[in-house]
Structure 1
Amino acid sequence: MPRRLHQLKRPKVRQDWKKETLYNLSRLVTPPAANKTFFQQKWLAKSMTRGYHNPYVREGTWTRMFDRRLPAVVSMNHEYLARYDGSEMASGRGSGVEKNPKDELEGEGGRGGQSDRVDKTPYMHMTFHPLERRLDTAIWRALFASSAKQARQFVVHGWVKVNGKKMIYPGYQLNPGDMFQVEPERVMFATGARKRKANSAASDQDVRSEEADEEGSKSTSRRAVEEQDEQDEVEDEGSDAGAATLESDAEREAVSTKPEDENDPKKAMKKLVTRAKRILEDSKRKLSGKRQQELRAFAQSVRKTMSKHRGADESPEDTVEDFEAALAQIMTKIPDDAVAQASTSAQQTEVTADAITRASSSSSSSSSSSSNPQMQDPSKHDEYTARKDAELLHAALERARANPRDVTKPYATPWKPRDYMSAFAFIPRYLEVNQNVCSAVYLRHPVARPGLAEVPTPFHGETLALAFNWYLRRR
């Protein structure tokens, strides 16, 4: 088992989601063969390919698994299979028949006018196909672990089941139809962001993104100050400094309201409390006193929930459900208050002038034609803003309940995908994966077909051919 997995001076590609692996993949080339013997070429190819294809399997174990018979299939024409039953292959033997009915059908356009084009079958890409049957390799291919070594650890620790029974042997050979399942909490830990500290729910990538945002805001504010200084060279220094400070403050506000903060329920709730305060300040004259008290109580309960999130043993699910119920009650009462206030204001202000009637009719027609609620009746403005803020609050609470912040989890919460995962997020054809229950089915053994090999590998066919020749009996 290699001690130093990742090297940048002599790059070797590994089966993991590391940034070093991505960098080595970008530099991966076919080794030059001008100044090397055939033996050296084979040994170098073997070293490169074995470093990627499960190097945790001992070399002696792998040589016993090696098979010189590489599996492949040939695609058959469905029109030919529908027309003939196979007896035509034996007809005319010994009578000088040279042309096959299959060739005649292909000549008629059975392959869409591409009978002359034959895709090459990449046989050499199937050199390490026996390793794909291993349980740890299948777990890594199914995206249940961030590396083949981690998948091996899951199996040894007893977090994997095969056909409903616990399997602790990572070298178990899967058969077609076998179903393996990994503990969902282990999968969340393997594919989620790592914690910054053991007692904190923040992750390293969150800290890095915050630092990058701070540096970006400083650079943008610095650039804004320089541009402002260049434009206002004639003006006084005090006005220049004031304008730069205002612009930088506006940019800091824009950066502070970045969309990434919506994933953090704590920051989202802080914004919701601020929004609730603004609703109360803007709608004191329109909403009734009882509704204002309810909104204040609602904002206070949100603050209490924020304080509960800091504890390690608190679960926000019950409080979120209570918030939703209280929110629904408040929202059902706000339209009634608006209608009641509109009727009372109409009774108090009795205007009989025809001009005012025409003006009100014209304003109502323009507001009905306009889709912007700001241009409609001012009495409906508070109702619209309250509904909009309530919808935003409901969405934030839904996100907090679906992806809560829990410091007891071994992974960072709220859960986020691990860095550098997207470049490796693919599933081979011979696996059927269900990410909801963290289980997969090994459908069949991987095979090569014209133009396609089902064993994922980053190496060129020439490199794999040299590695295949190394493992043959006669070197």
Structure 2
Amino acid sequence: MPRKLDNVSRMVRGHIGMSMNRLNLFNLQRKTPLNYVGKTLYQQKWAAKSETRAYHGEHLKEKRFKKVLFEPELKTYSQLDASLRSQEVAPTPITLQTYATLEKRLEFALFRSMFASSVRQARQFIMGGYVKVNGVVIKHPSFPLKSGDVFSVDPERVLYALGKAKPSLSKAINIDNKQIRYWNHYVKVARKNPQKVWEMQQNKPESLNSIANIEAKKRLQDKQNNGESVMKLQQQKVSKKSILGDIINLGNAAGANLNADTFEKYGSKLAKSKCLQVYENLTSQKSGILNDHSAKALDTYFSKDTERTPEEKTSLRHVNNLLRELEKCEWERIRLEFENLSTGGSFYDPSYTEKLNPVKSLNKEELMEDESKVKVSLPWQKHLYGRQDTSKPYFTPWTPRGFLGAFAILPSHIEISFDTCHAVYLRDPVARPGHSEVISPFPEHVHERAYMYYIKKGMS
């Protein structure tokens, strides 16, 4: 029988366990090398044994490990290549093989293959009948694997082991209501000051998550592709007629306070002066377009069939030249904004706030009685947080558990296929010059003292 599950994640002593728990990663980060100063040899061996046994088979009783599982003869690999006889060969870390005998157990092989998040969870999968060896269901966690054995795990169990934890219904509703509050606040602020919010959103700092950065770059590429079509649409909207209509609206609204700053919309000082020249030209000619600048009136103003005096023709020619220059300036401004997007900047689309709609909060009491009534309409989520498929025991849509990458260490003696959740046990792990196939967070000198402890206690 294994040990009782008592405080597996040892935060007080800081022991590292064979688990993907985030507390193990914290313990590993803060771990300091064993200090042998002032300790007797036995104390050194005891400290090394305590540290290594907390990781290698902590669920196994000490008496069973010493009397049954411990093997004094450690397996190694001899370098017999004659070409290396005259060269320096790295020493073989043979004492790292102290716990190699555990690696052939089925429960350990499952954890090493990343089919379970801990050895204890691997035991649960095995005893639950979810594991097969050579096509036969095995319910013994201590089953010894041999070279060439093929073992497999139910894919649903693997998704459960490596996936993010599924939130409860109450927790999911609370999270979604919080998301809705933040979204509604964002919509309110964006509608009030769209350009400022757009720039803040585009200038976010790079994420520490490499996967998120890859996805962000992909979204940026999509934005660039979409931005090109947006640029063309923006440029198509800009014409001499639209510019003239804007100038007349702004000039009429300014009244007696008319000056170049009235046309701030057109940015540069030169463009604003040209807008002022257009409006003053129309005023001096006492053109009727100032009072009636509808689409039909603008078409008539630019029509060649309209009868005009020589002075009116000269004025129209001058206005046409100014509007043509303003049109080119606006096209160039839009193009530069698009180029800013291609270098990681922001292409401002003033119409983006029209697509933002506030969302109604969820009624927790009503949804706790019947989850099927849930209707979430957030832009990035159409279901309860983490409960897209309520029949699954893990977070849906499936999301890898936190800090999974820190534990993604694949062994040399096992060939793994994550597509089918199968693995082949190639051979027992051995030690080679400068390398041991037994994965351990502890250096060789710690394993050396642990081996010295067991070689005496185990043989007595």
- Report the TM-score, using the length of structure 1 for normalisation: 0.53
Query: What do residues 316-362 of structure 1 show as CA deviations (whole Å, max 9, x unaligned)?
Result: xxxxxxxxxxxxxxxxxxxxxxxxxxxxxxxxxxx9xxxxxxxxxxx
Match of 1:134 in 2: 105
In the TM superposition, 1:198-237 aligns within 5 A as: none
Tell me, in whole angstroms, the C-alpha distance in 2 between the residues paired with 1:154 and 1:202.
Answer: 31
- 1:65 maps to 69
Residue number in structure 1 paired with 2:403: 420
1:383-462, aligned counterparts within 5 Å?
405-462=388-445
**Which of 30, 33, 55 is equivalent to 2:33?**
30
C-alpha distance in 1, partners of 2:137/2:25?
Answer: 34
| Mean CA deviation greater in 38-47 or 144-153 | 38-47
Give distance in 2, aligned partners of 1:417 and 1:106.
45
Match of 1:125 in 2: 96
Query: Counterpart in 2 of 1:15?
Result: 18
1:206-355 alignment, distance < 5 Å: 246=193, 250=197, 254=201
Shift in Å, 1:253: 7.5
**Inter-CA distance 251–18: structure 2 relative to 1 (3 Å threshold):** farther
How far 1:106 sits from its partner (Å)?
5.2
Distance in 1, Cα, partners of 2:60 & 2:173? 36
Question: Partner of 2:135 in structure 1?
Answer: 164
Please state if 1:50 is matched with 2:53.
yes
Aligned residues, how many?
Answer: 307
The alpha carbon displacement at 1:30 in A equals 3.2
User: Partner residue of 2:284?
Assistant: none
Structure 1 equivalent of residue 121 of structure 2: 150
| Identical-pair percentage | 33
Output one character per residue of 1:394-452: Cα deviation in whole Å (capped at 9) or x when no partner: xx99xx9xx99312211111111100111010111000000011110000110000000
Whole-angstrom CA distance in 1 between matches of 2:179 and 2:96: 43
CA 177–42 in structure 1, closer or farther in 2 if over 3 Å, else same:
same
Alignment correspondent of 2:291: none
1:5 matched residue in structure 2: 8
Which whole-Å deviations, capped at 9, do the CAs of 1:348-392 have from their partners, x for residues lacking one? xxx9xxxxxxxxxxx9xxx9xxx99x99xxxxxxxxxxxxxxxxx
User: Given that residues 431 and 440 in structure 1 are in contact (C-alpha distance below 8 angstroms), is that contact kept between their aligned partners in structure 2?
Assistant: yes
Q: Which sections of structure 1, spanning at least 5 residues, go unmatched?
A: 78-101, 108-114, 219-241, 269-274, 287-350, 352-362, 376-395
Structure 2 SS opposite 1:410: coil
- Is the 1:196–1:202 Cα contact (8 Å) retained in structure 2? no
Computing the radius of gyration from Cα coordinates, the structure with the larger value is 2
In the alignment, does 2:160 pair up with 1:189? Answer: yes
In 2: Cα distance, 1:140 partner to 1:415 partner: 20
Q: Deviations over 1:193-224 (max 9, x none)?
A: 00111588799xx88x979x97xx99xxxxxx
Aligned-partner Cα distance in 2 for 1:189–1:151: 12
Cα separation, 1, equivalents of 2:166 and 2:203: 23
CA–CA distance in 1 between the matches of 2:143 and 2:10?
Answer: 30
- Residues 444 and 18 (structure 1), Cα distance of their counterparts in 2 relative to 1, 3 Å cut: same
Is the alpha carbon distance of 1:39 and 1:435 closer, same or farther for their aligned partners in structure 2, counting shifts above 3 Å? same
